[in-house]
Amino acid sequence: MGYLVDLTGAHACIEQLLEMTPAPDNLTLAEALSTAAVIRYCRCFTSGIRQKLDINILTTASPDEIAIHDRMRGVRDWHVAHPINQQEVHALHLIVNDDPNANDLVLGMSSYQATSRSLKIDEFRLALSLCFKWVTHIQGKIVEEQIRLKPYVEQLSRAQILALPIMDPDTNSNIKTRRTQGHYK
């Protein structure tokens, strides 16, 4: 299942990020892991060609984990995917001449930009726990489905099994065309 790949990927990114605490030596890598974790987690709950997961089916999730689920979805929507909040700062600083009699009021300019990490360390720890619970839940569902399908598979002959279609993953070689055809609406 694609969910399992995404959630184990998010879990691995968060584990690596937590190993870098309290202060990562490589801020670029820390931000990349943070972004990847949020994106991989949230892919399971957004539209696409597979059915969306719903936090309400994870009965083992604590209220704090449900809150971090909502926070991650918000971070993905309002920070990672669409930079429209105060977690990103872009500023132009003017160096002003203190001399009131000077001809040049502005002596120079500098610019500054910064992006804060999407989640705090404690939030990442909660997200790690939540990812683990999702992985466990999905693995259990896979086992249930295998048990349900086993009697049907056992009725098939070797020839029938070998004749089953092999589904290769789509390479997404022409994603723009696929989007306009309505596959990803």
What does the pLDDT read at residue 177?
61
Q: Summarize pLDDT for 59-93 with one digit per residue, the tens.
A: 999 999 999 999 999 888 877 766 655 556 556 67
Token pair 């000077």 in the structure block, residue: 102
Pair of tokens at residue 78: 């309002």
Q: How far apart are CA 82 and CA 74, in angstroms?
A: 10
Q: At what angle do helices 2-19 and 121-154 cross, to 10 degrees?
A: 150
Q: Summarize pLDDT for 149-170 with one digit per residue, the tens.
A: 999 989 988 999 888 888 776 6
What does the pLDDT read at residue 184?
45
What does the pLDDT read at residue 112?
63
**Model-level pTM?**
0.69
- Greater pLDDT, 144 or 175: 144
Q: Is the pLDDT of residue 172 over 70?
A: no
- Greater pLDDT, 154 or 119: 154
Q: How far apart are CA 12 and CA 137, in angstroms?
A: 17
Q: How far apart are CA 146 and CA 157, in angstroms?
A: 18
What does the pLDDT read at residue 1?
64
What does the pLDDT read at residue 114?
58
Phi, psi dihedral angles at 163 (to 5 degrees): -85, -10
Q: How far apart are CA 25 and CA 5, in angstroms?
A: 28
Q: Summarize pLDDT for 15-55 with one digit per residue, the tens.
A: 998 988 767 777 788 888 988 999 999 999 987 778 899 99
Phi, psi dihedral angles at 22 (to 5 degrees): -80, -30
Locate the domains of the chain by residue range.
2-87+119-164
Pair of tokens at residue 124: 């990442």
- In SS3 terms, the chain reads as CHHHHHHHHHHHHHHHHHHCCCCCCCHHHHHHHHHHHHHHHHHHHCCCCCCCCCHHHCCCCCHHHHHHHHHHHHHHHHHHCCCCCCCEEEEEEEEECCCCCCCCCEEEEEEEEEECCCCCHHHHHHHHHHHHHHHHHHHHHHHHHHHHHHHHHHCCCHHHHHCCCCCCCCCCCCHHHHHHCCCCC
Average of per-residue pLDDT across 170-179: 61
